[in-house]
Amino acid sequence: MAIDPIRTIVIIGGGSAGWMCAAALSRSLRNLSCRIRLVESAEIGTIGVGESTIPPIISFIKSLGIDENDLIRKTQASFKLGIEFKDWVRPGHSYIHPFGPTGLPTKNVEFYAYWRKRHESGDARPLEEYSLQAVAARQAKFMRPIDLAKSPLQTITYALHLDASLLGAYLRGYAEVRGVTRTEGKVRSVALRAADGFIASVTLESGECIEGDLFIDCTGFRGLLIEGALKTGYEDWTHWLPCDRAFAVACERTGPFSSHTLAAARDVGWQWRIPLQHRVGNGYVYCSRFIDDTAAHDMLMSSLEGRALRDPLPLRFTTGRRRLVWNKNCVAIGLSAGFLEPLESTGIHLIYRGIALLVGSFPDRNFRQANIDRFNRQVAFEFERVRDYLVVHYTRTEREGEFWRHCRNIELPESLKERIELFSSYGRIVRDENELFPVQSWQYLFTGHEVEPSGYDPLAEGLTPEEAQQALDEISGLVARCATTIPLHQDFIAQHCAAPAE
Ligand SMILES: Cc1cc2nc3c(=O)[nH]c(=O)nc-3n(C[C@H](O)[C@H](O)[C@H](O)COP(=O)(O)OP(=O)(O)OC[C@H]3O[C@@H](n4cnc5c(N)ncnc54)[C@H](O)[C@@H]3O)c2cc1C
């Protein structure tokens, strides 16, 4: 059958998801004669949070041909080497989940295998002391990788903290230059084709009717097309991740200009701190069954490091995912596709994964079902693996209080049970292809939350205790020496990408 090309893509929504889609599609589809339109409503506005990212954001920026320093200046961004999880296991406990590699294999034995063996005998330092990213983050330092063979300075891996509204504005400029047309207006109704229930058009409050072949729902939690019009259904994961509300507020920065995100456990939920060039983003994620809104609001406001710059924004959500993220001729991207709380900063990542998967399975107007099914399976898989990763934070804790006792008793998803069982025998992580978190992230998670295996990887026997110890000492020494050569985060920004004064 002949290909019947998509002629018009209509994106509804101009938050981070909408403008990331518009920017990426305007570039990826530039050789096709396909019109891209975006509709957004200033009256409704955007959610205005979503400021901490993970390393694939750097590839996303590169794939658009954007100059990273230019984006950093214009979005008041800063650098991120990982996330510190403070007080999660018990008050006073802290570990960093750093990006990038930790340690080095020695004589073909994986680093974690021989680290764990020495750890069990009490002879290894904490895992993070073998990661340059973690050590630099603890010292509020940052630099980009440099070309220095056999040095951890060569593999520095980082992400960004950025202002969500400024990111949207930046990508809007990018997309409009590349031919995306923007319409300001509120969608009033969605018309479905009688024959097959596909979306035919949307009508704005102005009366304008916009037709399209492919619709991308970026309307946030509303899910105006995917749910409002197509009634796709939502899988609720609250029984695994019970937090359902948040307050978000920006404040002046008076504390350190750190190069990591802070996620600190609280009596009911947790609080984030995201340092940007011009302010600090803060938020408190909580469970309304265990704390009321006034107490949550007061808890956040009483723990800010500087003057609040506006009133806190209340947010409500249901953790889970849309049963089908691609339904008929509508693809949901962003919060309309599902929500996982921002504990590991995965929201924006799931947006560009959605976009990349869409480009990789781009349809024609025949919308082959096998293509759609494959896309949905892949998105579901990626959401579920991120969910499992988050669940460990809540369930592996000794914290006191009704909320944390409730969390400890959560029945784990089968996929997570299996992973923990596999880890429990030899301390090995078994990871499927296309999962977001690399093996090392799982190692940090399990080690940080004190999930202890009963033994270590038998391959660690390939090193004598002396050889293993020597390798560990060399690596931690090298990491510590490299860290001394890294500038302070604030100095690196001042030298390379400071935003103009406001
Ligand atoms: C508390 C919290 C903290 C978060 N923190 C992080 C984080 O640190 N890192 C991270 O990666 N992600 C984070 N996220 C997720 C992140 O905020 C979102 O993934 C991201 O902002 C994308 O949002 P969106 O574009 O899907 O929705 P929105 O920003 O809500 O945009 C929706 C758009 O749809 C438009 N719209 C809606 N209805 C209509 C209509 N009828 N007609 C026309 N237009 C309409 C709106 O005007 C708006 O433009 C967080 C989310 C929450 C809730």
What is the spatial distance between Cα 428 and Cα 421, in angstroms, rounded to a whole number?
A: 10
Cα of 270 to ligand 1 centre, how many Å?
20
What mean pLDDT is predicted for residues 333-358?
A: 97
Q: Which of 489, 427, 463, 491 is nearest to 108 (CA)?
A: 463
Contacts of 18 (CB under 8 A, 6+ apart): 11, 12, 38, 40, 168, 216, 218, 334
Residue 84 contacts residue 444 (beta carbons within 8 Å): no
pLDDT band at 30 (very low <50, low <70, confident <90, very high): very high
pLDDT digit string, tens, across residues 138-153: 999 999 999 998 899 9
Residue 225 contacts residue 219 (beta carbons within 8 Å): yes
pLDDT at 88 over 90: yes
Using a pLDDT cut of 90, give the percent of the chain over it: 96
What is residue 430's predicted lDDT score, i.e. its pLDDT? 87
Residues framing ligand 1 (Cβ under 6 A):
12-18, 39-41, 44-47, 49-53, 164, 186-187, 218-220, 222, 224, 246, 248, 283, 315, 317, 334-336, 342, 345, 347-348, 351
pLDDT band at 434 (very low <50, low <70, confident <90, very high): confident
Helices 347-360 and 16-28: angle between axes, nearest 10 degrees: 30
What is residue 144's predicted lDDT score, i.e. its pLDDT? 98
pLDDT band at 194 (very low <50, low <70, confident <90, very high): very high
Residue 158 contacts residue 55 (beta carbons within 8 Å): yes
What is the CA angle 54-60-66, rounded to 5?
Answer: 120
Mutate to test the pocket of ligand 1, among 37, 184, 286, 335 (most ligand atoms within 8 A of CB): 335
What is the spatial distance between Cα 108 and Cα 368, in angstroms, rounded to a whole number?
A: 46
Locate 51 and state its tokens: 């400021």
What mean pLDDT is predicted for residues 406-423?
A: 96
pLDDT digit string, tens, across residues 126-184: 999 999 999 999 999 999 999 998 899 999 999 999 999 999 999 999 999 999 999 99
What is residue 136's predicted lDDT score, i.e. its pLDDT? 98
What is the spatial distance between Cα 483 and Cα 55, in angstroms, rounded to a whole number?
A: 20
pLDDT at 466 over 80: yes
What does DSSP say about strands 320-322 and 326-327: parallel, antiparallel, or unpaired? unpaired
Check: pTM over 0.85? Answer yes or no: yes
pLDDT digit string, tens, across residues 38-53: 999 999 999 989 899 9
Quickly tell me which residue has 């979005």 as its tokens: 75
What is residue 45's predicted lDDT score, i.e. its pLDDT? 96
pLDDT band at 256 (very low <50, low <70, confident <90, very high): confident
What is residue 324's predicted lDDT score, i.e. its pLDDT? 98
Active site members? 80
Give the three-state DSSP class for 311.
Answer: coil
Give 29's DSSP letter: T
272 forms beta bridges with 263, 283
187 forms beta bridges with 204
Residue 60 contacts residue 355 (beta carbons within 8 Å): no
- Burial (0-12, 13-18, 19+ Cβ within 10 Å), 33: exposed
pLDDT digit string, tens, across residues 276-306: 999 999 999 999 999 999 999 999 999 999 9
Residue 498: left (phi > 0), alpha (psi -120 to 50), or beta? beta
Residue 350 contacts residue 340 (beta carbons within 8 Å): yes
